[in-house]
């Protein structure tokens, strides 16, 4: 890929206010371009990126933009009218240009591009092969662990429900390898018939391997074979008068049936596909994605991409598909509700990423068309609900602005709370809300590092949290170009907390963001909250005011988030041992030492010869462990 950055005389970020814009500016670049494929960026007078696009022929595409007589949509015409400069990157192929375009869109988030705002990874089911007795578990992220992966599933809930039933059917373990090695008797999972207890030899390696094979065949869609095999075994056990074993097999068959019923729509003629349907209304878009694997529906997820100020269905779907599969393996078949722009190009890009053929199809009849119609109906209904909720949320934000004398309804509210027990395991929490409700992807946790945490100083903790938050903002986005700057801060606390926040904001020079303390007031009764603002008397809202209920929900969510972070930190501290701090002792050596000596205290008292007797502990490591404890 060749980097051709072409800046005309108008590219300086310090350009005067009356800089030339539009067709004439774009025309100035035409003579500098050739017919290479590549990516272009259109920038405004402030050097902000308005749009990122790809082209098979850069010269032809830019020439088209430079002609006032060309028929452009209102969205593209507005974009052209704001363009003050352009930048270019040439590529070897158009496929490479498509992939680069989507990477730049996700990085720069231009106003006129379609942007997928939620691209979290999806969970899978993993039958781990790292151990002689494979474990059945949920997996999210990169597939680095050895084993068989099945998915994706639409949500953690869908995976957990399926795992729960699969454990009943196939009796595979879900414990960690360390727990497996330390067992001397069966655990609760065996007692409730969810595991065959290979850890204590309740099942032979051959029998367990057969269970693993059955689970893999089921997850591959060979459900009929598995059910028939279990039914045969149940009949044989019954005929041999092994009624307890027959009853256990009967329960496994019932659980298997429940798994299939829970999957919902199970297409017979579609073994593997993603079904992607778009509904566009009022400038807002909803995309529903259904995952079909092994002839089973493994759930669905809805997305609400930003439509780039008026893009049409074909452009939205192209951008969605290429961004959605940026870090995910595409299936062999993708069923779409609308054709995408440059279908052959998108298919080639996905095939290059997957290392095999990927087909895009817009079915018109049959079972595939029914799957798409079902997804489209879900997209339509989801968007209608979201628009209704958005209208209600907008009304609440407007009421909040009126109640607290804000200049405008806040687009981003940050709510802060602290959690600790007498200063121990102190954590600060930040929750974010806006026009779309709670934005959980923007939540943050702050481990309190200063002396305020140990002293149980709530004011000092809040100062530390706000200092770290806004120092990072000032460093990353001093010009406030992104949407990560809040319009309103809500602090759980009264006059003291507000005063502490005021000091920090003044020190940082951030004096234009309003902040309000929310205190429970007399008797600490919900509904009697008092609100504190710098330099003003506290006030309250009517008990039946919807804005009061809204603020309570915001405050309670921050409280829940901070308390959850505190509990997680406390649990980790409880399970910690002195071995965690010994240099060179990782998880494997820690397990070996604890298995050999029984406790960290016994390790600390052990002699050199005893330490060297542990598997994986060399003479040098034994000396290091011995010195660590005895020097202390």
Q: What is the CATH number of domain 578-631?
A: 1.10.150.20
User: Token pair for residue 181?
Assistant: 């090695």
Phi, psi dihedral angles at 532 (to 5 degrees): -120, 130
Asked if the model's pLDDT at residue 426 lies above 50, the reply is: yes
Rounded CA separation 48/41 (Å): 10
CATH class, domain 23-108, is alpha beta
For every residue of 592-624, DSSP letters joined together read HHHHHHSSHHHHHH--HHHHHTSTT--HHHHHH
Phi, psi dihedral angles at 289 (to 5 degrees): -120, 120
Q: Are strands 488-492 and 412-421 parallel, antiparallel or unpaired?
A: parallel
| pLDDT at residue 525 in the model | 55
Q: Are 540 and 529 in contact (CB under 8 A)?
A: yes
CA distance readout (Å), 172 to 128, 220, 294: 11, 17, 20
For every residue of 281-332, DSSP letters joined together read ETTEEEEEEEEEETTEEEEEEEE--B-TTT--HHHHHHHHHHHHTTSS---S
Q: How many beta carbons lie within 10 A of that of residue 451, not counting itself?
A: 11
Rounded CA separation 514/504 (Å): 13
Q: Are 211 and 170 in contact (CB under 8 A)?
A: yes
Rounded CA separation 226/218 (Å): 7
| pLDDT at residue 593 in the model | 84
**Domain 272-384, CATH among 3.40.50.300, 3.30.70.1530, 2.70.70.10, 3.30.420.340:** 3.30.420.340
Rounded CA separation 154/161 (Å): 12
Radius of gyration (Cα) for the chain, nearest Å?
30
CATH 1.10.600.10 is the classification of domain 412-573: no
CA 528 from chain center: how many Å?
37
| pLDDT per position as a tens digit, 577-599 | 777 778 888 878 888 888 788 77
Find the mean pLDDT for residues 85-106: 92
| pLDDT at residue 318 in the model | 94
| pLDDT at residue 336 in the model | 96
Find the mean pLDDT for residues 436-444: 89
Q: Could you state, in order of their start, the residue ranges of all structural domains in the chain?
A: 23-108, 124-262, 272-384, 412-573, 578-631
Largest CA distance in the chain: 94
| Listed residue (175, 182, 183, 131) closest to 594, CA to CA | 182
Instruction: Write down the pTM of the prediction.
Output: 0.70
Find the mean pLDDT for residues 345-364: 92
| pLDDT per position as a tens digit, 204-248 | 999 999 889 888 888 887 766 676 777 787 888 788 887 777 777
| pLDDT at residue 13 in the model | 43
The larger pLDDT score, comparing residue 360 to residue 392, is at 360
| pLDDT at residue 224 in the model | 66
Cis, peptide link before residue 152, omega less than 30° from 0: yes
Beta-bridge partners for 463: none
Identify the residue whose tokens are 């409880």. Answer: 574
Q: Are 265 and 232 in contact (CB under 8 A)?
A: no
| pLDDT at residue 575 in the model | 57
Q: Are strands 272-281 and 488-492 parallel, antiparallel or unpaired?
A: unpaired
Find the mean pLDDT for residues 500-521: 89
Q: Do 412-573 and 272-384 have the same topology in CATH?
A: yes
| pLDDT per position as a tens digit, 524-545 | 555 678 999 988 888 888 888 8
Length of the chain: 632
Identify the residue whose tokens are 């599969």. Answer: 325
Would you place residue 317 in the very low, low, confident or very high pLDDT band (cuts 50, 70, 90)?
A: very high
Rounded CA separation 582/573 (Å): 16
For every residue of 198-237, DSSP letters joined together read GGGTSS-HHHHHHHHHHHHHHHTT-HHHHHHHHHHHHHHH
User: CB-side exposure of 283: number of CA atoms within 13 Å?
Assistant: 6
The four Cα atoms 550, 554, 555, 558 give a dihedral, to 10 degrees, of 170
Rounded CA separation 329/246 (Å): 41
Highest mean pLDDT, choosing among 83-87, 163-167, 225-229: 83-87
| pLDDT per position as a tens digit, 254-312 | 766 665 555 545 677 888 899 999 999 988 899 999 999 888 888 889 999 988 878 89
| pLDDT per position as a tens digit, 448-484 | 888 776 677 888 888 999 999 999 999 888 888 778 8
Rounded CA separation 54/419 (Å): 49
Kindly report the average pLDDT of the chain as a whole number: 86
DSSP helix/strand/coil, 133? coil
Q: Are 267 and 78 in contact (CB under 8 A)?
A: no
Find the mean pLDDT for residues 26-30: 93
| pLDDT at residue 486 in the model | 94
| pLDDT at residue 372 in the model | 95
Q: Percent of the chain beyond pLDDT 90?
A: 43
Q: Of the ranges 324-328, 423-427, 624-628, which one carries the lowest mean pLDDT score?
A: 423-427
Is 511 exposed, middle or buried, given 0-12, 13-18 or 19+ CB atoms closer than 10 A?
Answer: exposed
Find the mean pLDDT for residues 481-497: 89
Q: Are 192 and 174 in contact (CB under 8 A)?
A: no
Q: Are strands 284-293 and 135-139 parallel, antiparallel or unpaired?
A: unpaired
Q: Of the ranges 121-130, 372-381, 421-430, which one carries the lowest mean pLDDT score?
A: 421-430
| pLDDT at residue 514 in the model | 93
Alpha helices in 122-222 (DSSP H): 156-170, 177-182, 188-191, 205-219
| pLDDT at residue 10 in the model | 44
Asked if the model's pLDDT at residue 371 lies above 80, the reply is: yes
Rounded CA separation 569/128 (Å): 28
Asked if the model's pLDDT at residue 117 lies above 90, the reply is: no
């Amino acid at each position: 890929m060749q980097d051709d950055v072409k800046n005309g005389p108008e590219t300086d970020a310090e350009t005067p206010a009356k800089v030339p814009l539009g067709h004439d500016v774009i025309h100035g670049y035409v003579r500098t371009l050739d017919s290479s494929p590549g990516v272009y960026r259109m920038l405004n007078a402030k050097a902000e990126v308005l749009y990122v696009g790809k082209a098979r022929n850069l010269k032809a595409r830019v020439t088209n933009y430079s002609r006032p007589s060309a028929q452009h949509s209102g969205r593209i015409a507005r974009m052209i009218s704001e363009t003050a400069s352009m930048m270019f990157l040439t590529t070897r192929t158009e496929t490479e240009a498509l992939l680069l375009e989507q990477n730049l869109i996700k990085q720069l988030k231009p106003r006129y591009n379609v942007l997928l705002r939620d691209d979290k990874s999806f969970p899978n089911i993993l039958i781990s092969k790292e151990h002689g007795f494979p474990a059945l578990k949920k997996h999210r992220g990169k597939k680095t662990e050895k084993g068989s992966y099945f998915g994706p599933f639409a949500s953690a809930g869908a995976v957990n429900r399926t795992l729960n039933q699969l454990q009943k059917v196939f009796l595979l373990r879900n414990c960690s390898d360390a727990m497996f090695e330390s067992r001397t008797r069966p655990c609760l999972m065996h007692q409730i018939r969810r595991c065959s207890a290979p850890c204590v030899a309740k099942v032979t390696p051959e029998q367990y391997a057969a269970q693993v094979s059955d689970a893999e065949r089921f997850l591959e869609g060979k459900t009929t074979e598995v059910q028939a095999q279990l039914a045969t075994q149940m009949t044989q056990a019954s005929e041999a008068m092994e009624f307890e074993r027959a009853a256990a097999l009967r329960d496994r068959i019932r659980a298997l049936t429940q798994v299939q019923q829970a999957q919902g729509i199970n297409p017979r003629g579609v073994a593997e596909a993603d079904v992607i349907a778009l509904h566009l209304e009022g400038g807002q878009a909803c995309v529903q994605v259904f995952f079909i694997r092994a002839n089973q529906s493994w759930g669905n997820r809805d997305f609400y991409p930003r439509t780039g100020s008026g893009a049409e269905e074909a452009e939205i779907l192209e951008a969605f598909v290429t961004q959605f599969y940026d870090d995910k393996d595409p299936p062999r078949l993708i069923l779409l509700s609308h054709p995408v722009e440059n279908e052959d190009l998108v298919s080639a890009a996905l095939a290059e990423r997957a290392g095999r053929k990927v087909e895009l199809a817009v079915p018109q009849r049959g079972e595939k068309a029914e799957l798409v119609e079902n997804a489209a109906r879900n997209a339509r209904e989801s968007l209608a609900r979201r628009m209704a909720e958005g209208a209600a949320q907008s009304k609440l934000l407007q009421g909040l602005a009126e109640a607290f004398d804000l200049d405008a309804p806040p687009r981003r509210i940050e709510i802060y709370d602290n959690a600790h027990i007498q200063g121990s395991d102190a954590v600060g929490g930040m929750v974010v809300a806006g026009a779309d409700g709670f934005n959980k992807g923007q939540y943050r946790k702050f481990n309190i590092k200063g002396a305020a945490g140990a002293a149980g100083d709530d004011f000092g903790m809040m100062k530390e949290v706000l200092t770290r938050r806004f120092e990072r903002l000032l460093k990353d986005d001093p010009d406030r170009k992104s949407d990560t700057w809040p319009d309103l801060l809500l602090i759980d606390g009264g006059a003291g907390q507000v005063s502490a926040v005021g000091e920090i904001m003044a020190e940082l020079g951030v004096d234009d963001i309003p902040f309000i303390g929310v205190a429970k007031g007399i008797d600490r009764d919900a509904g009697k909250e008092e609100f504190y603002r710098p330099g003003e008397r506290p006030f309250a809202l009517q008990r039946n005011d919807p804005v009061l209920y809204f603020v309570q929900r915001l405050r309670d969510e921050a409280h829940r988030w901070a308390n959850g972070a505190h509990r997680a930190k406390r649990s980790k501290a409880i399970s910690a041992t002195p071995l965690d701090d010994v240099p060179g002792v990782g998880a494997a050596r820690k397990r070996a030492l604890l298995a050999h000596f029984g406790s960290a205290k016994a390790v600390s008292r052990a002699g050199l010869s005893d330490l060297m007797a542990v598997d994986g502990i060399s003479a040098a490591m034994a000396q290091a462990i011995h010195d660590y404890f005895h020097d202390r």
